[in-house]
């Protein structure tokens, strides 16, 4: 059942966006990213998607990300590892459903959708669990401004 949650909705959305001609030619269907498998994050709109076979399979979902001085980096990164119930030692905080994509500890995880982070990407409980269940080590995370 991997990657099926939200597929019908996301596929319909992608078709509308592509038909309307609003998505850039290089974008994965329904997202501002060019990756084929993984996750897409758009910092300026505080949105994230799962991408499967070049199309949005889940999302967009709301996120918060790094505060000034702790910005979430842009670029394309591999999913490095996943930890279901992690704990941030530097910030003394829980990090449920962590999906790490940088070697210095930046991850998608469940967190506040109102408070900015120290670089991580906060998701709602449901979205964090879905990202955790559907992102695989080695897939890509593309972060665009």
Give catalytic residue positions. Answer: 109, 120
Q: 117, 130 in Cβ contact below 8 A? A: no
Compute the distance between CA of residue 34 and CA of residue 86 in angstroms, rounded to an integer.
30
Strand partners, 76: 142
Burial class (CB in 10 A: 0-12, 13-18, 19+), 24: exposed
- The two beta strands, 121-123 and 107-110, are parallel
**Which of 46, 118, 124, 52 is CA-nearest to residue 89?**
118
Q: 48, 61 in Cβ contact below 8 A? A: yes
Q: Which residue has the tokens 């910005």?
A: 71
């Amino acid at each position: 059942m991997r990657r099926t949650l939200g597929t019908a909705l996301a596929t319909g959305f992608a078709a509308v966006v592509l038909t309307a001609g609003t998505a850039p030619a290089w974008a994965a269907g329904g997202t501002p990213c060019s990756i084929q498998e993984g996750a897409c994050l758009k910092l300026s709109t505080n949105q994230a998607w799962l991408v499967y076979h070049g199309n949005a399979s889940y999302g967009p979902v709301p996120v918060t990300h790094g505060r000034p001085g702790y910005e979430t980096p842009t670029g394309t990164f591999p999913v490095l590892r996943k930890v279901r119930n992690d704990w941030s030692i530097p910030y003394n905080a829980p990090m449920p459903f962590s999906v790490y994509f940088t070697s210095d500890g930046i991850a998608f995880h469940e967190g506040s959708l109102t408070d900015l982070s120290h670089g991580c990407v906060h998701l709602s409980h449901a979205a964090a669990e879905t990202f955790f269940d559907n992102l695989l080590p080695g897939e890509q995370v593309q972060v665009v401004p």
